[in-house]
């Protein structure tokens, strides 16, 4: 990833540090895995009964999966929709921005107001599905949106 790019991991880390500091060791442990493995491990609640494998015993992890899964899905959807309508030159730039080799992280693009509102709603829905209280879900959703507002759009000149 080039300088200035914000990864899904960066956003998750910052939001969890602010809203659920007790889960930060889980986020740090997940950083060692590739994106696909993280998404598999955090998958739907109830499907996975074994621990995440970081020696944390019975730590209840609620916020990390909500934030990571929603942001991962959002980044993939935006990358796909932008690439579908892009010119050949723009597609080449997008491949460069969204390319993920071994050890690289999914890039979180800058979002419009409408996209931010959609992410906020998805966070609220995912938090409710995981059993988080409404006030806690609101706090997490607000923290996610506040962090996403800070994501810089990629430069148009193609420089990294």
pLDDT tens-digit map of 54-103: 544 445 788 999 999 999 999 888 877 655 555 555 555 555 555 444 45
Mean residue pLDDT of the chain comes to 79
Indicate whether 106 pLDDT > 90: no
Q: What does the block give as tokens for 116?
A: 């931010």
Query: Which own/partner contact pairs does 46-49 have at CB distance under 8 Å and 24+ positions apart?
Result: none
Confidence at residue 114, expressed as pLDDT on a 0 to 100 scale:
95
In the chain, pLDDT over 90 holds for what percent of residues? 48
5-19, 23-37, 112-126, 145-159: lowest mean pLDDT where? 145-159
* Residues 6 or more apart in contact with residue 121 via CB below 8 angstroms: none
Whole-number Å distance between alpha carbons of 49 and 136: 24
Of residues 60 and 21, the one with the higher pLDDT is 21
| Per-residue pLDDT at 4 exceeds 50 | yes
At 153 the pLDDT is 76
Closest CA to 108 of 10, 13, 27, 25: 10
**pLDDT confidence bin for 11, thresholds 50/70/90:** very high
- For the ranges 25-34, 35-44, 106-115, 133-142, the lowest mean pLDDT is seen at 35-44
Share of the chain above pLDDT 70, in %: 68
Q: Residue 46 corresponds to which tokens in the numbers above?
A: 């109830």
CA–CA separation, 9 and 15 (whole Å):
10
């Amino acid at each position: 990833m080039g300088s200035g790019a914000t990864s899904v991991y960066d956003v998750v880390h910052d939001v969890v540090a602010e809203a659920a500091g007790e889960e930060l060791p889980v986020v740090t442990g997940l950083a060692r895995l590739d994106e696909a493995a993280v998404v598999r491990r955090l998958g739907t609640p109830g499907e996975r009964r074994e621990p995440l494998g970081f020696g944390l015993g019975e730590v209840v992890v609620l916020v990390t999966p909500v934030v990571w899964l929603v942001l991962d899905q959002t980044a993939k959807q935006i990358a796909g929709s932008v690439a579908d309508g892009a010119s050949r030159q723009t597609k080449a730039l997008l491949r460069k921005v969204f390319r993920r080799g071994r050890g690289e992280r999914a890039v979180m693009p800058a979002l419009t107001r409408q996209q931010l509102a959609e992410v906020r709603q998805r966070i609220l829905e995912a938090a409710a599905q995981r059993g988080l209280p409404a006030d806690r879900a609101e706090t997490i959703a607000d923290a996610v949106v506040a962090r996403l507002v800070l994501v810089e759009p990629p430069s148009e000149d193609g420089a990294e």
